[in-house]
Amino acid sequence: MKMLVLGSSGGCGRQLVHVALQRGHEVTAAVRPGSRWQAPAAAKWVEGQLDDGAFLRSAVRGMDVVLSAVGLRLPGLAPWARPEVPDLLTRFTPLLVEAMKAEGVRRGVFISAGGVGDSFGAMPGFFKAFIRGTALRHAYRELEEMERVLGESGLDVTICRPTGLTDGQRTWKVKVAAGLSGRATISRADVAGWMVDEAEQPAWVGKQPLITVTGAAA
Ligand SMILES: NC(=O)c1ccc[n+]([C@@H]2O[C@H](COP(=O)([O-])OP(=O)(O)OC[C@H]3O[C@@H](n4cnc5c(N)ncnc54)[C@H](OP(=O)(O)O)[C@@H]3O)[C@@H](O)[C@H]2O)c1
């Protein structure tokens, strides 16, 4: 398949590029201008801003699926910390939807986060307080908006909501959780593997599965 990876320079994005190439897909990695990350030689790469509709349109052209690992860059989690671009997803998501519709690309797999939307209730109490009381609240507000716009887009979109991300190895033990108990984590490699699986064999279109390796409630 022809796969576009947005946010390819980030922790999950790099894993997405890696896994998709391993599986023999034709991968295009999108980065912002000046990014110091270099995509593997086997991938194509394109450079542009996420709030540039013309760039997004040319990037999605001819793709079978868009995989997005775009998320806010936070300088820290202190309550007063401000994201580098606070309205990144509010600006980027409608432009991406427009670009996909204009180019006839219907399929997307996106990363949101455990605790967004109706998964908030599944979070442990301390984590609810953590989301509300730290700079994470900016990211969560933006992810809510991203999910809303994608949900209303009419496109064939899967939005995964991972629990705490780690840089561990891929385990192939991803579960879709109805609830959580204890420490809930998933490696970026497992998130990427799950997303590429979902791109190849869609099972969660129109849904927002909470995905984790540890901490799924029995
Ligand atoms: N951390 C967690 O435990 C956790 C848990 C659940 C969900 N999540 C979600 O998962 C997402 C992916 O995680 P991650 O660890 O891969 O994040 P990450 O390493 O911070 O990657 C974020 C990606 O978004 C891009 N990006 C950010 N701001 C941008 C801008 N203004 N213009 C263009 N690109 C921009 C980054 O590009 P640059 O490299 O150029 O900055 C990077 O490619 C997070 O952003 C978060 O929403 C995180």
The predicted pLDDT at position 67 comes to 99
**CA atoms in the 13 A half-sphere facing the CB of 50:** 22
DSSP-based three-state secondary structure for 109:
strand
User: What's the 111 CA to ligand 1 centre distance in angstroms?
Assistant: 9
Give 66 Cα–ligand 1 centroid separation in angstroms: 16
pLDDT at 218: 76
- What φ, ψ does residue 121 adopt, rounded to 5°? -65, -25
CA distance 19 to 92: 25
- The DSSP result for 139-187, as a single string, is HHHHHHHHHHHHHTS-SEEEEEEE-EEE-----S--EE-SSB-S--EEE
Torsional sign, CA 196, 176, 10, 145: positive
What is residue 10's predicted lDDT score, i.e. its pLDDT? 98
Instruction: Quickly tell me which residue has 């991406």 as its tokens.
Output: 96
Closest CA to 97 of 28, 149, 31: 149
- CATH numbers and ranges of domains, the chain: 2-212 (3.40.50.720)
Per-residue pLDDT of the chain (218 residues; tens, 9 = 90+): 999 999 999 999 999 999 999 999 999 999 999 999 999 999 999 999 999 999 999 999 999 999 999 999 999 999 999 999 999 999 999 999 999 999 999 999 999 999 999 999 999 888 999 999 999 999 999 999 999 999 999 999 999 999 999 999 999 999 999 999 889 999 999 999 999 999 999 999 999 999 999 999 97
Which of 132, 124, 201 has the alpha carbon at shortest distance from 164?
124
Q: How far apart are CA 112 and CA 199, in angstroms?
A: 16
Angle separating helix axes 136-151 and 88-103, nearest 10 degrees: 20
Q: Which atom of ligand 1 is nearest to the CA of 13?
A: 16
Is the Cβ–Cβ distance between 11 and 165 less than 8 Å? yes
State the pLDDT at residue 204: 98
Q: Which residues have C-beta atoms less than 6 Å from ligand 1?
A: 7, 9-13, 32, 35, 50, 69-73, 84-85, 88, 111, 113-114, 139, 143, 162, 164-165, 188
Rounded-to-integer distance, Cα 136 and Cα 74, Å: 8
